[in-house]
Amino acid sequence: MNLVTQRVSLPAFGYHGYMSSAKRVVVATSNPGKIRDLIGAAAAHEIEIATLTGFSQLPSVVEDGATFDANAKKKAEHYSKYAEGELVLADDSGLEVDALRGAPGVRSARFATDETGAPDDAPNSDDEANNARLLRELAGVPDEFRTARFVCVIAVARNGHTLATFHGKAEGIILHQPRGDKGFGYDPLFFFPQINKTFAEIDATEKAAFSHRGAAFRQFLDWADHLREQHPHKMV
């Protein structure tokens, strides 16, 4: 098994336990935006984010599940088979817009592509195209009805079997035009009232304190820490 590790050397803020001693999390993604988010979430715990070498050459997963849970589990189980004995994390995430009855939801990465009737195994549409379609769909919708949330489900698996799932949400409003250049996906359009900024106007470490992915990842850390407390002499 080959791993590529990315480490953020920032001081820990009082977190102790299994992940503090293991120092590494293997994640099944090559999406640079997701990797930045996870590095930001891991930074306060001095955790390394490791990705499988040659991830893009591994057999891919068709994300055809009806829920974020289903897709996250499918990816984690599939890719954990290529990292024997390791805890492997995979996430599925997306944007739910109330005025669009929860769309794009699990189709968030393919929102623009879906307009063409492309099959599920077609490449994802790019961020610009997805954001453009979102703005078209919300044209004329007033601010008070532009409520939305980011949703993330992280699944952790080992040797092809899901061990647990973790859920995070972030509630916000869809703007009429993008702001910021630090995020990815729908971040430039997602205004988070608590900080009076979009997710694209803050760096990955700050974003992790508020984001859906950061919330789910912290739940994973708590879970791993709890297991370590129960089994102090055994790797989880």
Tell me the whole-structure pTM to 2 decimals: 0.84
How do beta strands 24-27 and 190-192 pair?
unpaired
Q: 112-119, long-range: CB within 8 Å, 24+ apart, which pairs?
A: none
> How sure is the predictor about 49, in pLDDT bands with cuts at 50, 70 and 90?
confident
Whether 165 maps to a domain, the answer reads yes
Are 8 and 39 in contact by the 8 Å Cβ rule? The answer is: yes
Look up residue 230 and give its DSSP letter.
H
Q: pLDDT tens-digit profile of 144-156?
A: 999 999 999 999 9
Whether 235 maps to a domain, the answer reads no
Whether 60 maps to a domain, the answer reads yes
Provide CB contacts within 8 A for 154, sequence distance 6+: 72, 89, 90, 91, 165, 166, 168, 213, 216, 217, 219, 220
CATH of the domain at 153: 3.90.950.10
* Burial of 11 (C-beta count, 10 Å sphere; 0-12/13-18/19+): exposed
Distance (Å, whole) CA 7 – CA 104 = 33
Q: Average pLDDT for residues 50-58, to the nearest whole number? A: 84
Whether 37 maps to a domain, the answer reads yes
> How sure is the predictor about 185, in pLDDT bands with cuts at 50, 70 and 90?
very high
Whether 172 maps to a domain, the answer reads yes
Token pair, residue 140, equals 């004329």
How many domains does the chain contain in total? 1
Whether 236 maps to a domain, the answer reads no
Whether 186 maps to a domain, the answer reads yes
Whether 164 maps to a domain, the answer reads yes
Q: 69-74, long-range: CB within 8 Å, 24+ apart, which pairs?
A: 69/153, 69/155, 69/165, 71/106, 71/153, 72/153, 72/154, 72/155, 72/165, 73/155, 73/157, 73/162, 73/165
Q: Average pLDDT for residues 100-124, to the nearest whole number? A: 90
Catalytic residues, by residue number, are 92
Domain region containing 216: 3-230
Higher pLDDT, 54 or 104: 104
Provide CB contacts within 8 A for 14, sequence distance 6+: none
